[in-house]
Amino acid sequence: MNNQDVLDKQQISDYLKDLPHWREVPGAIAAVFHAKTSAMAIELVNEIASAAELDQHHPDVDWRYNKVFVTSTSHDAGGQVTTRDIALAAKISERAEALGVAAHTELIGVVEIAIDTDDQEAISSQWAAGLGYKIASDGSLVDPNHRLPAIWFQHTTTPNPNRLHLDIWGAYSDSQKILDELQKQQAELDHESAPSFVVATDRQGNRFCICTEKDR
């Protein structure tokens, strides 16, 4: 892996302008394709596998009836986005369009679990052991099979009484609809860190963050 292949956030943003099916998520780029039939979705999965074999670069693919969820990252670059991910994304989009399978960016999403702590070292290995996770280079915990939500530790000297919260990642272009719905449901919204993230608090004091790729 050539370090020059790793893309910074501005480079990712620039590349994605030419890849309208794809959005940035933590450490990866992602797309969701919605086929007319399950058989067509399977055909797209086969096309993705063929493209991946040609490139020798393999995305995570989740087939759910007539929807195909695709996430691409470069594990040999420490879980970062590289030029190989961009090249593969372009080929996947081309094959989806050739099959007549539509992309639905509003379905792109990632959930992470955040834990407030004033001593990450004291607890991270226990969570890793319980979940069978690996400790990543940045100290977060990741599922080695890339199926379950990642866990990261938010360092604070004054942990919130409710120490766990969810980070719900989606495209900035689709985030306002979610925030409008939360407003309708009378959730308390803290926009101080928007558009990077908005903190939502429910009626019982539980928190979750609506996170986007914007201004990160």
Domain ranges (residues) in the chain: 3-107, 110-211
Cα separation, 202 vs 113, whole angstroms: 17
Q: Which residues of 66-79 are buried (b: 16+ CB within 10 A; e: fewer)?
A: bbbbbbbbbeebeb
Nearest C-alpha neighbor of 67 from the set 93, 28, 36? 36
Helix, strand and coil percent figures for the chain, each rounded to 5: 35, 30, 35
| pLDDT in the model for residue 3 | 52
To the nearest whole percent, how much of the chain has pLDDT over 70? Answer: 98
Both tokens of 45, joined, read 């999965």
| pLDDT in the model for residue 99 | 97
Note whether 83 and 145 are within 8 A (CB).
Answer: no
Between strands 23-25 and 28-34, the pairing is: antiparallel
At residue 53, does pLDDT exceed 60?
A: yes
- Give the pLDDT confidence of 3-28 residue by residue, as tens digits: 558 999 999 999 999 999 999 999 89
Between strands 151-155 and 197-201, the pairing is: unpaired
180-196 average pLDDT score: 94
| pLDDT in the model for residue 161 | 83
Cα separation, 61 vs 81, whole angstroms: 16
To the nearest whole percent, how much of the chain has pLDDT over 90? Answer: 81
Highest mean pLDDT among 56-70, 139-153, 164-178, 202-216: 56-70
Cα separation, 189 vs 183, whole angstroms: 8
Note whether 59 and 70 are within 8 A (CB).
Answer: yes
70: three-class secondary structure by DSSP: strand
Both tokens of 204, joined, read 């019982």
pTM of this structure: 0.86
Other beta carbons within 10 angstroms of residue 131's beta carbon come to 15
Q: E strands within 121-161? A: 134-135, 141-142, 151-155
Cα separation, 86 vs 97, whole angstroms: 17
- Give the pLDDT confidence of 103-112 residue by residue, as tens digits: 999 999 999 9
CATH superfamily of 3-107: Transcriptional coactivator/pterin dehydratase (3.30.1360.20)
Options 3.40.605.10, 3.50.70.10, 3.10.180.10, 3.40.50.300; CATH for 110-211 is 3.10.180.10
